[in-house]
């Protein structure tokens, strides 16, 4: 007898399974998202349902990546070198840091 190849069966998700999957995906997004990504999706309302929330988050992140090619991360730049931060009196002046804007509007 010839062996039959097993075919992968399609699993149709029920409404409850889709909601549970969306909630798990949302929790994963919250735990792994950067500040730049959170700024992009900050205004999304959670009350519209978990599936709609994740769909909107994916859409917004996709638009942001399309505009910027990559979501830029804030970069620290020092205005003064640490050696130049010393003033004439020998006191240390505060070194200022500038953060680039993560999102262009």
CA angle 15, 21, 25 (to 5 degrees): 145
Beta strands 97-99; 76-78: pairing state: antiparallel
Structure pTM? 0.52
- Whole-angstrom Cα distance, residue 58 to residue 44? 11
Mean pLDDT of 18-46: 89
Residue 24 reports pLDDT greater than 70: yes
Nearest alpha carbon to residue 61 among 25, 20, 17, 19: 25
Question: Tens digit of pLDDT for each residue in 42-61?
Answer: 888 878 888 999 999 999 98
The structural domains of the chain, with segments of one domain joined by +, span: 15-99
């Amino acid at each position: 007898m010839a062996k039959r190849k097993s075919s992968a069966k399609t699993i149709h998700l029920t409404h409850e399974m889709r909601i549970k999957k969306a909630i798990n995906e949302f929790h994963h997004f919250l735990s792994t998202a950067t500040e730049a990504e959170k700024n992009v999706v900050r205004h999304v309302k959670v009350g519209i349902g978990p599936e709609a929330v994740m769909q909107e988050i994916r859409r917004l992140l996709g638009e942001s990546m399309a505009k910027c090619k990559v979501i830029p991360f804030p970069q620290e730049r020092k205005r003064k070198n640490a050696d130049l931060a010393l003033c004439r009196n020998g006191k240390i002046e505060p070194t200022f840091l500038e953060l680039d804007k993560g999102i262009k509007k």
